[in-house]
Chains A and B, each alone.
Chain A
Amino acid sequence: MQLTNEENAMLAGEFGAVRRWAISHQIAVGEFFDAEDFAPVSQAHIMADTESLGEAGVRFLEGLAAAPEAERRVRVPTITDPRGIDFAVYRRLGQTPEMAALEERAIEALRAFGVMMTDTCINYQTIMAPVRGERLAYGDTGVVIYSNSVLGARSNFEGGPSALAAALTGRTPRYGYHLDQCRRGTRRFRLGAAPDDLSEWGAVGGIIGEACSSYWEVPVIEGIETVPDSDALKHFGAALASFGSVALFHIPGITAEEPAFAGAPVTSIGRAEIEAFLARYAARNDKLDVVVFTAPQLSLFEMEAVARALDGRRVHPDTTVIVGTSPEIKHAADRMGLTSRIEASGAVVAQGICFYQSYAHEMAEANGWTRLMTNSAKLVNIIGGYGYRPTLASLERCVDSAVAGRVL
């Protein structure tokens, strides 16, 4: 890679050991992907839940955080993805004091860098939406695909260590979705049926994701006649990224960029394909252990929809309902009375977590949970590996099932 004088100085340790680690890590990644140089970034977003970090990751952060302040401060505004623990509700979810203690250590270390603990995977709805062409080092695949596609920003998937490195150097290797040639459409899909709700938008994302199955494929989706709202594209993109590792999609006339590609066979997706996708997770009449609304965290509008569906109803005593949102939306929901309406049903509102990043396996064992129901296609894709049997359905059917204590 071609390095500037400042980058060479970082590599030589002239800005301290922390920035030397950061630029060294970035050069290793950049050379792996044949990056020619670095590009400056305006924001970083770090995924650093303690389930992923483990003791080793937390110790690594603490080691860097022990450096002098001038050597460890981030160079661009840096925010965080959901954590593993909501300290207000963790015992109720079967998480342990040991998990909470590790979480506290991680938070303290991240704060020492000057990281803002936003604890959210919907920063584009709640903190500061990026603009077209803005270069970023974002973690969380759902955040990256939404920012790249809907908003026209430029980021690769930046895992926790790489996002932290970008925050410390203020730049990222110029490869992948920072390059024009990677942003062209490579696959064509035609949607022949309008998704009915967020679970179906997620299902369509899952279908296209499975068909692409590569970070380097860029699907172009035609046939969408009604402009989807932000939550629909959030669930669509999150599922596309989860099932396919895809980081950019184009919907001509709706998303930020034109696909700029020359012809490709079209794959049609209709009602039959959506129904077949949902049927993979069907479990009618199964005892229902846990209903989860998150992944991605809920917007204010989704919180209102959950509150409306639960008004005047009581969750079955053998079923737990978890509603996950960001701290910003939680505060708004508290202020607007949505939290109390949801919790009056017996449901738990958690902030700053996203369920699957929250020791899902240990929660399942502690609570005896197996059957999980959600309107998030992303979550049904992830959670099977943690020992759950997931069912995908609309928000309303999830709530009806939670009240009945079985999958309806």
Chain B
Amino acid sequence: MPILLHCHKGVGPAVTGTALVAADNFSARYDLDRTKGVFTRPSHKLVGQSYADRILVLDTAKGGVATAWMLHEMAARGIVPRALIFNRVNPILAQGAAFGTVTLVDRFEGNVTQLFRTGDELRVDPSAGLVEILNRDS
């Protein structure tokens, strides 16, 4: 049986994909080489890793307002995370996801960076406020 986890209702379409998890934060401006689709901030736990088409699972959003435009720009070029799962986001990430039609959910019971593991196959349904872990049952 897949594991079902409830969260607050999110934004964006329902998607399926592979999780990339870290107990770290996120800003499109501070952390990424958006042309190559990799984390470049030296101190980030995912430095060097590709985020394209992955379901990013991180703690929270940080820093400035640029992410609101940048998710839209990343989506237009097709080098963008498939979905974003956070413990609790700031308004910028929610605004950016809504504007860029990028799937985003937050506010789970428990810490998402521990509930999910890198490599988990996930189905994210923002309108239902639900995430399924498809490839493990414990």
Residues of B within 8 A of A (CB): 8-11, 25, 27, 29-33, 40-44, 59-70, 72-73, 75-77, 88-92, 94-96, 98-99
Contact = CB atoms under 8 A, between A and B. Distances in A.
| SS class, residues of chain B in contact with chain A | mixed
Nearest to A280: B43
Contacts of A357: 66
Interface of A: 25, 28-29, 31-33, 47-49, 51-57, 60, 81, 139-141, 156-162, 175-176, 213-216, 241-245, 247, 356-357, 361, 381-382, 384-385, 387
A382 B29 contact: yes
Contacts of A215: 60-61, 89-91
Contacts of A56: 72-73, 75-77
Contacts of B60: 213-215, 245
A384 B91 contact: no
Contact of B90 (A161, A245, A361): A245
A4 to B, nearest CB: 21
Given A141-B63, A382-B64, 17 more contacts: A25-B98, A48-B69, A49-B66, A54-B76, A54-B77, A56-B73, A57-B72, A60-B72, A157-B65, A158-B65, A159-B68, A161-B96, A213-B60, A245-B63, A385-B27, A385-B30, A385-B41
Given A25-B99, A214-B88, A382 B63 contact: yes
Nearest to A356: B29
Contacts of B90: 157, 214-215, 245, 247
23 contacts: A29-B95, A32-B94, A47-B68, A52-B68, A55-B73, A56-B75, A57-B69, A57-B72, A156-B91, A158-B65, A160-B65, A162-B91, A176-B91, A213-B62, A214-B60, A216-B88, A242-B63, A245-B60, A245-B61, A356-B29, A382-B30, A384-B30, A385-B29
Main secondary structure of the interface of A (DSSP, over half): helix
B88 A57 contact: no
A161 B72 contact: yes
Given A52-B29, A213-B62, A245-B60, A33 B68 contact: no
A381 B63 contact: yes
A256 to B, nearest CB: 21
A62 to B, nearest CB: 14
Nearest to B12: A28
Nearest to A361: B33
Contacts of B33: 361
